[in-house]
Structure 1
Amino acid sequence: MTSKETEAQARNGRSGRRPGQSGAREAILAAARTRFSEVGFDKTSIRAVATDAGVDPALVHHYFGTKQKLFAAVVEFPVDPEVTLAAVEAAPLDQLGETILRVVATVWDSPAGPGLIAALRTLLGGGEPELARTFLLEVVTERVRLRIATPEDDGRVRISLAISQVIGVLVARKIVGVEPLASMPIPELVATVGPTLQRYLTGEIEHAG
């Protein structure tokens, strides 16, 4: 047992909360799933999840680290979204479309791909639309939206169009297997679809308020 878990257990004992035991991780995930579904990502706190699960907040951090990683565990996302988001955030604004597509396609073509496909199937067909919306709008794309937002356009329409484009490509490429899209090399995919994605994000579109 690690020192962090021991310390968390000691605090739990003093507070009367559930000690860090084998069922604590599952209790945290169940509490987080309910919280994220009901109030979304931004309004969910580690402390609130810990209270619902009957554990010390230190134990939540011990098992999952950040709130973002906790959400990724709830939706069974096999990679850390922060890695992808960091690469996207480093891209110049006029290269966002091609960068997003390149990064996402590269991750999906990696060894993590099968796990990502399973996660996508769960989000699309698991009967939990609230979690899917939260994951896409608050975890994956909110920081991109903030980059493209202007006083006249909050970027929400643009982000929804971008999401539809990327999901469409991923479903056609990885789930349905539509050729030649399914076997198209990533550079060709980026060159073909990237400009459309860029137009959705920063170009001229109608009713973008």
Structure 2
Amino acid sequence: MPSVDYQRLVMPIGEAIFTQRSIRRFRPTPIPVENLRLIVEAAVRAPNGGNRQIARFLVVTDRARIREFGALYREAWWAKRRDEGHAWKGINDIPPEEKTHRAAARLADEMKDAPCVVFALAMPPGPANSVIPAAQNLMLTARALGIGSVPTTLHPSVMDRFRAMFGVPNDVAFHFCIPLGYPQGTFGPKISVRLLQGGLHVPHTHV
């Protein structure tokens, strides 16, 4: 039996799925511990390959640790942009039409202020296919509790420092960094008709 009161999740699953979106700006309000426990327990109950249960979640709420990580995350984000060939030096250099990049750059600046950051990890052999369903469970449960999230990654140039910062062994695979917090804006839906039409593929069936 679950060790937390999952019956608090009264939002219909359809509403959680269809109104979930990437939330990158958070209010400073702390997330209650009981909500974090429920979110993580939902994550570890996700289906996983061979029932090996290799997913692990490192939950960080300490303000000083998050500020320290925020500086590392910002460095990693801009390193990735350089790899992509962008000459941007700061958010003001990003063209207005690059809305997704500008929103992500704002997260890079504000990660240090997130109320909580969760790192999705995996024990050896560490494949992502046993972590992705757990991460989605985590984010859907957060959505049902009115908490926003977005899955992000790190750049190889900062991984050694990340591991040292949080004591993550080298044989434990890193997959996602997921900031959590009550959103400054609103949840979805925010999806275009074009995307809906282009996202459906029904194969031909010969009878």
With structure 2 as the length reference, what TM-score do the two structures score? 0.27
Greater helix share, 1 or 2? Answer: 1
Greater strand share, 1 or 2? Answer: 2
With structure 1 as the length reference, what TM-score do the two structures score? 0.27
Tell which structure's C-alpha radius of gyration is larger. Answer: 1
